Chain A
Amino acid sequence: MRRLFWAAALAASVIAGPCLAQAKDDTLVVGAAVFTDSLSPAAGGYITLSLVYQTWEPLVARDADDKLVPALAERWETVSPTHWRFHLRRGVKWHDGTPFTAADVKFTIDYVTDPKTVYVRKGRIAGVVATEVVDENTVDIRTSSPAPLLLRGLADIAVEQKAVTERLGQKEAHRRPVGTGPWKYQEWVAGDRYDLVANPDYWGGAPAMKRLRIRTISEGATRVASLIAGETHIIEEVPVDLLPSVERRRNLKVDSIESSVSLVLTFDTRKPPFDDVRVRQAVDYAIDKKTLLQQMLGGYGSVLDGQLVTKATFGHNPKLQARPFDPAKAKALLAEAGHPRGFDTKITTLSGRYLSDVDIANAAAGMMTAAGVRATVNVVEGGVWSQLDRNKEQGPMYQIGWFSVGDADFNTVWYTEASKRNYWTNAEFDRLWQEGRSTLDEGKRLAAYHRMMEIMHEELPSIFLFGLPRISARAANVEGWQPSRDSLLRLHKVRVK
């Protein structure tokens, strides 16, 4: 209702009004959708990294496309399958002027992996057993077993300055970051904004703008209004129903990229009727995914290729394709499985966790009903959801988005026994998953994931719906901006003309 009203209101005002609070010329202002109350790399959800990585950097980074790129480590090699050597970038300085050295890297990894340290993403580098300083610019990392995911894990660990964190303690050091990144800390107002200034000595080149302000505007409609009013230059997460009002304005541009979040409808395969693969396939044929994508996601993002991971994720199997929309075949399969007159079922979903989640569930339920599987949608609150999830009681079908951050290992885990949350189980799948995470041989890993995708395509533990898009909008005079697959803000090359 609220959204509907906004769409109408924005449509009504054909010309943007005069701009009052125009940002200062040398400042880039970003309207963020989710904001956290912390700048600490040790705390907060994944989204905290969006703030953390303005000032700090990892050894190895992801780029906007989820590809690994050198950051504080210029290059790396494996000495043996459990022994990695990182050659650090030379001449990098911390914001306080002290040079960055191997001691800082060792310090950071030691304290993150220390069992006594509270560090939310420490599991990402769980296999690390020792870090050694070889010389000023070289660090060795040893793992307990071959760790193909080490580099991706390191991309989530910000390297901190030994001297500062030791002197101030973790808490204080995390309140006023002294990093090596493109922006320097200036001021942070909890829940309102984060102000930063350019680091002119940044190894990747000084940022294009002198100042950066990241504002939190959690209400989507207000975020769009702030962009129209010229208070922000870039906004994250444009609500789908407000897209037309942004697209229509010539002074605004919409940018989109497919994230690595795969939206799926998972079956409880332990119980009838979904213990029968024919019934699951029938549901797959009954849902017109292309139409859903057009209607509910504004045509952004993409339909998954009949497999869990998105095209850009390591492990994507190019031979598989989504099953076509074929209601006749759906009905035939249902009849064959002994449900000629269909049956009643329900889809459980969260509201507002994923883009258009409830709308998608409702539309999919409608399509299923047309084919004979009479589905209703059950929207539950986050706390209730987590309890259902833990007890494996989400009901016959539930909607969820699994995040891969570029590697199939991260989201296939949810279909293995290791997750303790899986309804469906398959011994070959579990074995392949273990294989994929315990060899450094990329070819072998890829083969394992390709086969896993095939198994899932045939057995359909879930209906694979969409690779969800990240849709951002900007003023037309903003250059060098690209939304990232992993949702982190990468802003140092952005310029406002």
Chain B
Amino acid sequence: MWNRDRWREMFLTLRKNKLRTVLSGFTVAMGIFIFVLLFGFGNGLKNSFEQFFVDDSTNTIWLYPGQTEKPYRGFKAKRRIIFRNDDLKDIEQNFPLFIDYTTPRISRGALVKRGKESNNYTVRGVAPGHQQAERSIIIKGRYINEADVQDNTKYATIGRLVEKDLFGKKSSLGQQIDVGGVSFKVVGVFRDEGGDNEERLIYIPYTTRQRLEKSNDRIDQIIVAFRPELGYTGALALEKKLTTFLRKKHNIAPNDRSGIYVRNVAADLKQTQQFASVLQLIVTFVGLGTLLAGIIGISNIMVFVVKERTKELGIRKAIGATPKSVVGMILHESVFITTIAGYAGLLAGVGTLTLIGDSLEEFFIINPYIGTNTAVGATLILILFGAIAGYIPARRAAKIKPIIALRDE
């Protein structure tokens, strides 16, 4: 294998038969290139799909107050249910083993001003846990913290696009903004993978919001994050316990569905994951198909190459080449070409994917990529099959008696 003469002989043969070399190399390179590209696109499709669903935490249960439909314990039907701060406390105290954190959310629209700039934004009163529930990523300063909630501070954490709208290129940190007539100090800026709307939000402590609204203790909705180790079934059980607990507390009939609404992200996620695995299956299928086409292409060209060389191999045998050296020579050449060409196709494919990047976002292909293992594995498979495809006709050619190979056509 490492005999210098052998390499020299091989290079000479390859150089003197450029068309053949280029043609077989091109087949391999193209096969790998298309494989990488399709596989990458498949992954990109999966990425954009995942982005639709997983920009928020997946271990949360969302509780919304509603309106009762049935009379119960002396209460009339059509009664509005209102969540208050003690609901939050009760949940935390009654389910400490299952709960990671809780946060309320009080949403209000507000005209926000800063100097001459002004715009309407949604302002959410929240607790620190909300950052995790929404997966907000702090890029400057900090999020609303426990102390802010304690002291009803007039601090705000604003979205990246809010800062851009109101401050242009200047930094908003430490600056005052006017939120619906009340002055707030910006303590942080965040971004969110969920898209532009998610970055046009303003977060303030929920206690501050309650104090601004005549010091009430009402909450719009409650987000309960359960411990991830509960899993899917645990989450469903907790959901049931939580609603039973709240119905009892608020005197809602156990079979009254509209008193409290629940959204369990864990259940949604399950569906999403099923869809994602179907997508993965399609991607794998397309990839295998391409690879198969590549293998057939290489096999064809190898059969052709050996056929074309029958006479040359006959001559080599007549002047002393052993069958082993004939097979070795063809294998050496074919493995060399497929390796170089496969590597080139791999680089070209990965390069193209990198170049494409996020430019196909509108076709739902985000960050197309291919795993190193998949790409290298596919290349190795192609090299292996190139070798096998070369070996079979080479062995046959080596077995042909030179006299037959040399017979004039």
User: Is the pairing of A and B real?
Assistant: no
Contact surface of B with A, Cβ cutoff 8 Å: none
Residues on A facing B (Cβ under 8 Å): none
